Structure formats: C-alpha cells, structure tokens
Amino acid sequence: MRHKEKIEKAKAKLMLEHPYIGALATALRLDDNPQTLTFNSDGVSLKYNDEYFDEAPLDEIMFALANGAMHAVLKHSERSGERVGRIWQAATDITVNTMLLKNGFTLPPYAYYDTRFDGMYAEEIYDILTEEMIYNDTLNEADAPPPDDPSDPKENAKSSATDHMQTQEPSSSQPTTSAQLPDDGIDAEEIEALRQEITEHFEQIFQKFNRQGELPQGLEMVIPHYFSHKIHWQELLYRYIAEFAKNTYSFIPPNMKYLYRGIYLPSLSSDLLRIVIAVDTSGSVDESLLGTFLGEVESIMQSYGNYEIDLITADAKVQAHRTYLPGERLDYTVSGGGGTDFRPTFAYIDAEISYPTLLLYFTDGMGTFPEVEPSFDVMWVMPEVKEVPFGEVLVLDE
C-alpha cells in the first residue's frame, strides 16, 4: 500500500475512532519532504518522508496525523515567548503525546513521553526540563575554566541547555518552533489568511465536539486557551450563531482555494443565517428581561446581512410567528403573560417551519419541557442556570 493510500485510510480510521482529532487532521497541509527522517509538524503543515510512511504500520501513520493535528491547535509558537526552542519543542511534544496515549494511541518508540509529566501543561514541563538540564550541565562544567568573555549568566544557562538538548537524538515527531509555511511562492498575506482560516475552522470543530461531549481526554492540557478564558455571554452567543450562518460547510466538494496544496478545508456554498428564535412572554419574564431578549434579537438581525429568522413569541401557547428577511425592521406586539409551556412551541416548529437547524429560546427556564429531543439544535438563553433535558444553556451573566 503506497503512502498516499495509507494516509487516506489513516484519516478515515481517525474520523471513526477519534472524530475530533480526525476532523482536525483533514485540514492539515501534508508535505512529502525527503529531508525529513520520519515526520514533524510546524503547527500548520505535517512534513513526512514518503519512504517512512510506505513502511510504517497504519497505527503509526495515525499517530503522525494526530500529533500534527494537536500541534496545529496547540499554538506552541505563539506560547513559546523567549523560551529555549529545543526545550520548548520537547515540552510541547510530551504534552501532546501524553494526551494521545490517554486516548488509546500507540506511541512510536522515538516519541517523547515521560510519566512524570502526566497532567502538566507544556509551560510546567518546560520549567522542569530547563532546571534539570541547567543543573546537569553545571555539574559537568564545574571544573571547566571560565570563558574569556563571560556573558549574561541567564543567557549562558539557556545556551547550555539548548546545546545539551541538541546532543540528544531528536524525536521525529517533535514540532519545529516556527509556524511558518515553507517558501513555495506563497506570499505572507496568503499565509496569514490561511492560518486565520485554519484557526477559525479549528475553533468551530472544538465548539461542535464540545457540545456533543466528544472531546478527547486531557485535551485541556494541550490547548488550555480553549478552556481557561472566560468570555462574555454575547460573544459566546454570536460564535454559536456564526456556525449556523455557514450552515452548508461540506468537504464534498472541498475548498478549492487550498486543495492544490494538499489542505482539505470545507467549502461553503451559502452564508445564509437561517434560524428560529423563540421569546418567552410568560408572566414570569419581567419587562426588563423581555427587553434584553428582544434587544438581542434586533442585534442579531443587524449583525448579519443575509438572514431568514422565524421569530416566535409564546407563553403556554404560541402567541405570534413572523419571518424576517434582510432590511425588515423588527416590528412586534408582545402578547402572553400566562404560564410557561415549551411544548407548543416545539410542536409548532415541527408543523410550520421546514428544516429548522437551530432554535434560540430566550426564557427564564421556568416551564414544562418536551419529553422528546428535537431533530435540530437548541440553545436556551437564560438569566441563570436551569436544568434542561436537551440542548445547551447560555447564562446571561453580567
């Protein structure tokens, strides 16, 4: 089996067994590079030796693709700062390989891994490796004469640690420190546009699998920036909506703009935002909260140039329904004020709206929920956390 056929088989197996990692791997730029001993990743492309891939077992190729995919979302070059390159490479590779091992991957014998670093971020591993290398080099050089032109002790320590790392057999799975694409006639502007497109695509993949609860174990150690920062509820809401504004992403056909370079990104045949918005007008929703709900509906309409929004107001029954198209002013009469029952709204959507993909339900959450989960995605936008039988809850925090 030739290497290209093995790569496609490895991608397919990744999609089945590790769907999040497989989805990332499909967007990697693959570069058949005879200068590479086995493979390495620079955070954007995966360089590999075709002779190595021809002979390697399928599991090892799956590991190579997974390793490259994880380095692509790791942002190791952006997080490196002034750290010593080779030590930072080792630290990031240990972090990635630890996560892959936890998720059932078989590590090749040359892959960096050490059980001491389980559960640590790359920054923590780097500090430990640096201290150990500086300490070992200090012992080895204790009897050496002082240099004729001493420089900054801190810089000496960095240089010593780097030299020590370079004397070791390099791991062919470790990344390079630069996330630049090779010079193959692509200008800097196109490189940056590609990097931005890949980054946005990876964030959408993360949000999708996060909602589905299908993220790999230990992923927060590899990409803490996806987990640690708090964002305003409106930013999260608009990120969520943005995925459905591009609701015809598909790999068949792939995005032709980058296909010739071996990068498989989904194509986009429409940027129509087509969603259903339900606003709870029951008696438990006060005037201030209702104003917040309707204000967000208006903001959504102002933020997207091409939309079809079905706006439903309801309490214990559907009070009104209107479809808004671009350029139309949000014009509504609030009616309701009774109890809250979400079931009539879902029944109405099933009966009256064709092929809904996303329902944003603005509510206080105090009502009767349907027993059966609908076929479309649901986001409940609430002033406080409530338990829901399905969908995702977004809290309107300050």
CA 141 vs CA 148, 157, 166: distances in Å: 15, 11, 17
Surface-to-core class of residue 193, CB atoms within 10 Å of its CB (0-12 exposed, 13-18 middle, 19+ buried): middle
| pLDDT recorded at residue 13 | 92
**Mean pLDDT score across all residues of the chain:** 76
Determine which of 35-44, 107-116, 145-154, 330-339 has the lowest per-residue pLDDT on average. 145-154
pLDDT at 175 over 70: no
SS3 track for 326-375: CCCCCCCCCCCCCCCECHHHHHHHHHHCCCCCEEEEECCCCCECCCCCCC
pLDDT over 70 for what percent of the chain? 71
| pLDDT recorded at residue 397 | 65
pLDDT 10s digits, 81-128: 778 888 888 888 899 999 999 999 989 888 888 889 988 888 888 889
User: d(Cα 101, Cα 185) in Å, to the nearest integer?
Assistant: 38
| Residue type (1 letter), 328 | E
User: d(Cα 128, Cα 110) in Å, to the nearest integer?
Assistant: 21
Average pLDDT over residues 329-336: 77
User: d(Cα 282, Cα 313) in Å, to the nearest integer?
Assistant: 9
User: d(Cα 287, Cα 196) in Å, to the nearest integer?
Assistant: 41
How many CB atoms neighbour CB 77 within 10 A? 20
| pLDDT recorded at residue 326 | 83
**pLDDT band for position 141 (cuts 50, 70, 90):** low
| pLDDT recorded at residue 174 | 41
The residue among 85, 90, 65, 83 whose CA lies nearest residue 178 is 85
| pLDDT recorded at residue 171 | 40
Average pLDDT over residues 55-78: 86
Average pLDDT over residues 132-161: 52
The Cα angle at residue 18 between residues 17 and 23, in degrees rounded to 5: 125
> Are 70 and 92 in contact, with CB atoms under 8 Å apart?
no
User: d(Cα 373, Cα 108) in Å, to the nearest integer?
Assistant: 43
Residue 278 DSSP one-character state: E
pLDDT 10s digits, 264-320: 554 444 456 788 999 999 988 888 888 888 888 887 777 776 788 899 999 999 999
Q: How many residues does the chain have?
A: 398
pLDDT at 332 over 50: yes
Determine which of 32-41, 159-168, 278-287, 312-321 has the lowest per-residue pLDDT on average. 159-168
pLDDT over 90 for what percent of the chain? 24
Q: What's this model's pTM, rounded to 2 decimal places? A: 0.53
Q: Strand, coil or helix: what is 153?
A: helix
Tokens of 58: 């399928």
**Domains of the chain, first to last:** 3-166 (no CATH), 273-395 (3.40.50.410)
| pLDDT recorded at residue 333 | 73
User: d(Cα 74, Cα 41) in Å, to the nearest integer?
Assistant: 11
The residue among 131, 126, 69 whose CA lies nearest residue 99 is 69
Strands (E), 27-120: 29-32, 39-41, 45-48
Determine which of 186-190, 255-259, 282-286 has the lowest per-residue pLDDT on average. 255-259
User: d(Cα 332, Cα 322) in Å, to the nearest integer?
Assistant: 9
The Cα angle at residue 166 between residues 118 and 171, in degrees rounded to 5: 50
pLDDT at 398 over 60: no
Average pLDDT over residues 237-245: 68
> Which of the two residues, 248 and 28, has the higher pLDDT score?
28
The residue among 267, 262, 266 whose CA lies nearest residue 44 is 262
| pLDDT recorded at residue 263 | 54
The contacts found for 101-106 with CB under 8 angstroms, 24 or more apart, are 102/216, 102/217, 102/218, 103/18, 103/21, 103/216, 103/217, 103/218, 104/17, 104/18, 105/59, 105/62, 105/63, 105/66, 106/59, 106/60, 106/63
| pLDDT recorded at residue 269 | 43
| pLDDT recorded at residue 327 | 80
Strands (E), the chain: 29-32, 39-41, 45-48, 249-254, 266-268, 273-280, 307-314, 318-324, 358-362, 377-382, 392-395
Average pLDDT over residues 372-398: 87
User: d(Cα 390, Cα 251) in Å, to the nearest integer?
Assistant: 28
pLDDT at 168 over 80: no
> Which of the two residues, 391 and 161, has the higher pLDDT score?
391
